[in-house]
Amino acid sequence: MSNIQVETLNHSYGTKPALHEIKFVIEPGFNVILGPNGAGKSTLFSLLTGILPAQTGKVLYDQVDIKSHRRAIMHRLGVVFQQPTLDLNLSVQQNLTYFGALHGISKASVLQQCEPLLQAFSLADRLSDNTRSLNQGHRRRLEIIRALIHQPQYLLLDEATVGLDADTRQLVLNTLRDYVQANNVTLLWTTHLMDEVLMTDNLTLLHKGTIKAQGKTEVLLADAQCRTVFDWYCSLTQTVEAM
């Protein structure tokens, strides 16, 4: 089982608390952390990827602490950050093959492994294009493909569909859900968009730096006697703030 276990994380920026007593387990499948802007999602993401060291608590990947074994874990981890990280001066193919080389994967193997994803994301005919010429949606698709080159056991995506049109958002979500199911990947998806959550997803609600609830979406809604994720969110936060 490829689990991510978070044990009693606390994090502050100076005297300002960002996360308080965060505890949860993420199992294989499509896992969503839902929360408004400012809830602490990006701070949590930085702790999960080892960019920020945990001030208290632990982040474990299959019982291995990322604080002391980050290099080994990163070889099993695919990450898509909220901010773009592509080299716009390289072609689509060069972005992929360069990243593959960092993982010791040959150019031929990279292109072979990426072919199904390039087709699924409608980028197969853009390999020779300069990345700068791609629109925002195509760049985001490329980042996701790049994150999957080394066939990671874990895939973490932070607000990956922000700024994308509805059709592209749906394409990205559908493709990743299919990929997770086919490859038994542990995927963590952070978002503030409630319409991205399905009833079959494992859902965690992060609000003001604390975990309000976690479980299967359909079970959480049934237990709270709520028809929609929005109603459920409001029942736990006592707010109708815009997501």
pLDDT per position as a tens digit, 68-119: 999 999 999 999 998 889 999 999 999 999 999 999 999 999 999 999 999 9
Cα–Cα nearest to 157, from 47, 78, 74:
78
- Statement: residue 230 has pLDDT above 70: yes
Q: How many CB atoms lie within 10 A of CB 194?
A: 15
Please say whether the beta carbons of 131 and 23 come within 8 A: no
Cα–Cα nearest to 183, from 155, 146, 143:
155
Q: pTM surpassing 0.75?
A: yes
- Statement: residue 186 has pLDDT above 70: yes
Mean pLDDT along residues 211-231:
96
Domains observed in the chain: 1-76+152-243 (3.40.50.300), 81-150 (no CATH)
Q: Looking at residue 183, what is its pLDDT? A: 94
Cα gap 113→50, rounded to integer Å: 27
Give the model's confidence band at 242: pLDDT under 50 very low, under 70 low, under 90 confident, else very high: very low
- The larger pLDDT score, comparing residue 33 to residue 241, is at 33
Q: Looking at residue 240, what is its pLDDT? A: 44
Give the model's confidence band at 238: pLDDT under 50 very low, under 70 low, under 90 confident, else very high: confident
Mean pLDDT along residues 54-81:
93
Burial code of 195-232, b = ≥16 C-beta within 10 A, e = fewer? ebbeeebbbbbbbebebbbbeebeebbeeeebeebeeb
Which tens digits make up the pLDDT trace of 148-175? Answer: 999 999 999 999 998 899 999 999 999 9
**Average of per-residue pLDDT values in the chain:** 93
**Start-to-end CA span in the chain (Å):** 33
Cα–Cα nearest to 194, from 184, 205, 185:
205
Give whole-number Cα distances, 238 to 71, 110, 129, 230, 231, in Å: 42, 48, 49, 11, 10
Q: How many CB atoms lie within 10 A of CB 102?
A: 9
Question: Given the structure tokens 């001066």, which residue do they identify?
Answer: 89
Q: Is 96 exposed, middle or buried (0-12, 13-18, 19+ CB in 10 A)?
A: buried
DSSP 156-185: EEESTTTT--HHHHHHHHHHHHHHHHHHT-
Give the model's confidence band at 214: pLDDT under 50 very low, under 70 low, under 90 confident, else very high: very high
- The larger pLDDT score, comparing residue 1 to residue 170, is at 170
- What are all long-range contacts of 67-74, with beta carbons under 8 Å and residues at least 24 apart? 74/50
Cα gap 59→49, rounded to integer Å: 9
Cα gap 232→238, rounded to integer Å: 10
Angle between the N-to-C axes of helices 166-183 and 107-120, in degrees from 0 to 180, rounded to the nearest 10: 120
Cα gap 25→61, rounded to integer Å: 10
Q: Is 223 helix (H, G, I), strand (E, B) or coil?
A: helix
